[in-house]
């Protein structure tokens, strides 16, 4: 009986020690909630939420900030965040709607090559060198607007993304299927 108690006690100590060690050794560094929120945010890095990028805002949400501060994400993002954070949607101001998707465009003939826009772009979507013409990789541009203001000659403008046949969305009028009468 005593031996059994001893044995159990020893076992408890051993496992306790192992668990304690594991807790320190395999400590999870980042807050997984922040990662989850960060994954939902659109990663435009535009700073319109008032934070210097999406991750800081994710941290702020995890810390209790409201979830409706991200205009590029629009309604879909708010919905997902509400799901994740367990906030009810009705209590939130849903005035923010996703606008038309746009990307920056440099009127190349006007560019004086001051490189200011490059410094402003958070995702390195602008190529150019000092005193050379600059241009935007429209596939990489997130449409964050941040390069428009710094340009001293105002040669950057935001243009709507061209619709292609692949990206085109159906509209009701084009589908004749419902006009087949039933005999």
Partner 1 sequence: MPSLFQQIQAGRIWDFHGGIHPPSRKTQTSQKPIDSYSLPARLYIPQRQHIGVAGRVLVKVGDHVLKGQALTAADNAMAVPVHAPTSGTIVDICLHPSAHPSALPEPVFVLEPDGLEQWRPRHALDMLHADKAQILQRIQQAGIAGMGGAGFPSHIKAGAAAAVDYLIINAVECEPYITADDVLMQHHSDTIVQGIEILSQLLQPKAVLIGIEDDKPAAIKAMQQAVAGKNHWFVRALPVKYPSGGEKQLIQRLTNKEVPSGRRPIDIGIVVQNVGTAFAIAQAVLEDIPLISRVVTVVGQSLSRPQNMYALLGTPVHELLSACGFEPQPSQRLIMGGPMMGFTLPDARIPVVKTTNCIIAPTHEELPVAGPELDCIRCGACTEACPVNLLPQQLLWYSKAKDHTQLQAHNLQDCIECGACAYVCPSEIPLVHYYRVAKADIRETQREALKAEQAKARFEARKERLEREKQERAERNKQLAAQRQQQLADQQKQQIAEAQARTQAATTELTHAEIVAERERKKAEARAYQAAKLAAEQDIIQSAEPTLSADDRAEQDPRKAAIAAALARAKAKKAQASGEAESTSVEAATVAAAPALGNTVEPQSSSSDDAKKAAVAAAIARAKAKKAQASGEAESTSVEAATVAAAPALGNTVEPHSSSSDDAKKAAVAAAIARAKAKKAQASGEAESTSVEAATVTAAPALGNTVEPQSSSSDDAKKAAVAAAIARAKAKKAQASGEAESTSVEAATVAAAPALGNTVEPQSCSSDDAKKAAVAAAIARAKAKKAQSASNSEAATDPTQADSEPPLADSDAVLPPVPQDEPQVVAQPEPVAANPSAEDAKKAAIAAAIARAKAKKAAQNPQEPS
Binding residues vs ligand SF4 (CB under 6 A): 41-42, 44-49, 51, 53-54, 57, 70-73, 103-104, 106, 111-117, 120-121, 123, 125-126, 128, 134, 136, 141-147, 150-153, 155-156
Residue placing its CB nearer to partner 1 in the complex, 12 or 163: 163
Residue placing its CB nearer to ligand SF4 in the complex, 32 or 113: 113
Q: At what angle do helices 32-40 and 74-85 cross, to 10 degrees?
A: 160
Give 74's contacts (C-beta < 8 A, 6+ positions apart). Answer: 96, 97, 98, 99
Q: How far apart are CA 147 and CA 164, in angstroms?
A: 25
Give 60's contacts (C-beta < 8 A, 6+ positions apart). Answer: 49, 51
Residue placing its CB nearer to partner 1 in the complex, 28 or 180: 180
Residue placing its CB nearer to partner 1 in the complex, 31 or 140: 140
Q: Phi/psi of residue 105, each to 5°?
A: -140, 130
181 binds, among ligand SF4, partner 1, none (CB under 5 to 8 A by kind): partner 1
What minimum distance in Å lies between the beta carbon of 74 and partner 1?
Answer: 11
The yes or no reply on residue 123 touching partner 1 (CB under 8 A) is yes
37 binds, among partner 1, ligand SF4, none (CB under 5 to 8 A by kind): none
Q: How far apart are CA 141 and CA 122, in angstroms?
A: 9
């Amino acid at each position: 009986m005593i031996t059994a108690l001893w044995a159990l006690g020893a076992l408890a100590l051993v496992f306790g020690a192992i668990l304690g060690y594991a807790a320190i050794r395999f400590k999870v560094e980042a807050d997984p909630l922040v990662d989850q929120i960060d994954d939902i945010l659109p990663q435009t890095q535009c700073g319109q939420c008032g934070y210097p990028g999406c991750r800081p805002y994710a941290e702020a949400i995890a810390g209790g900030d409201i979830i409706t501060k991200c205009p590029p994400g629009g309604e879909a993002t708010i919905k997902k965040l509400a799901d994740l954070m367990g906030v009810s949607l009705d209590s939130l101001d849903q005035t923010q709607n996703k606008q038309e998707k746009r990307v920056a465009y440099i009127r190349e003939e006007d560019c004086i090559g001051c490189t200011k826009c490059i410094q402003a772009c958070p995702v390195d979507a602008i190529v150019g060198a000092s005193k050379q013409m600059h241009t935007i990789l429209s596939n990489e541009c997130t449409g964050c607007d941040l390069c428009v203001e710094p340009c001293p000659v105002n040669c950057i403008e935001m243009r709507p993304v061209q619709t292609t046949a692949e990206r085109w969305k159906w509209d009701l009028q084009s589908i004749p299927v419902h006009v087949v009468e039933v005999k």
